[in-house]
Amino acid sequence: MVDNATSVKSLKRIHELLESPLFRENSSDDAPWKSAFAELIMLVNDLLVEENAVGHRVSFYEGVGVNGKIQDITSLVDWLHSYLPGSPADLTARLAYQGYYHRLNRYFGRGTGYFANGLFFTSDYDDDVAFFLDDQRIYLNHHISRAVDEAEHHLLP
C-alpha cells in the first residue's frame, strides 16, 4: 500500500502528465513534450519498481516489444528509463545536441513510415500517441496509463 506523501505526490504528478496538453495531437513539436515524457517515464519507472518491491510485477505483454524484442511493460519502462537522462533538466540540455534530439520521436494515431531521422515506425492505434526512443515504442494510453492503473489498483487501498 502507498502510505507516504512522496508516493502520493508522484502519483498525482503522473496523472497531471498523462492529461497534459503536451501529449495531444494539436501540440507543437516545439513544445517541451520531450522533457515531460522523460519526467513521466522516470516517475512511472519508480512506481513499477515500488510494485516489484512489494511482490507484484506489472507484466502485460500486449503491444510491447519492437523488432522481435520480447519484453513486458515493466522491462520496457526500465529500458526507456535507462536510456533517458537522469532528470528532465538533463534532457533539455541534451536536446541541444543534434544526435540525441533525433533519437526521441512521437507519432499520433495509426500509421507506418519513417521519421526525419530515418527511423522506421509503426503505430497500431488510431486513438493513441506512440513514443519512440530508437527502435523502442511505448503508447501513452495502451501502455503507460494501463501500467499506472494496474500499479495503483494494487498499491492503493
Instruction: Say how many residues make up the chain.
Output: 157
* Cβ neighbour number for residue 77 with a 10 Å cutoff: 26
CA–CA separation, 61 and 132 (whole Å): 17
> Residue 119: its pLDDT value, please?
84
CA distance 42 to 146: 16
Of 149, 151, 129, nearest to 140 by C-alpha is 129
Question: How high is the pLDDT of residue 57?
Answer: 93
Separation of alpha carbons 109 and 122, rounded Å: 10
Neighbour-count burial for 43-53, b at 16+ CB within 10 Å, e otherwise:
bbbbbbebbee
Could you tell me the pTM of the whole model?
Answer: 0.86
3-state secondary structure of 91: helix
Residue found under cell 537522469: 86
- Contact predicate 36/20, CB 8 Å: yes
Q: Where are the domains of the chain?
A: 5-102+140-155
Q: Cα separation of 147 and 51, whole Å?
A: 11
- The pLDDT score that the predictor gives to residue 130 is 96
Q: Mean pLDDT, 10 residues at a time, over the chain (157 residues)? A: 66 96 90 88 95 91 69 90 73 57 84 88 95 90 97 82
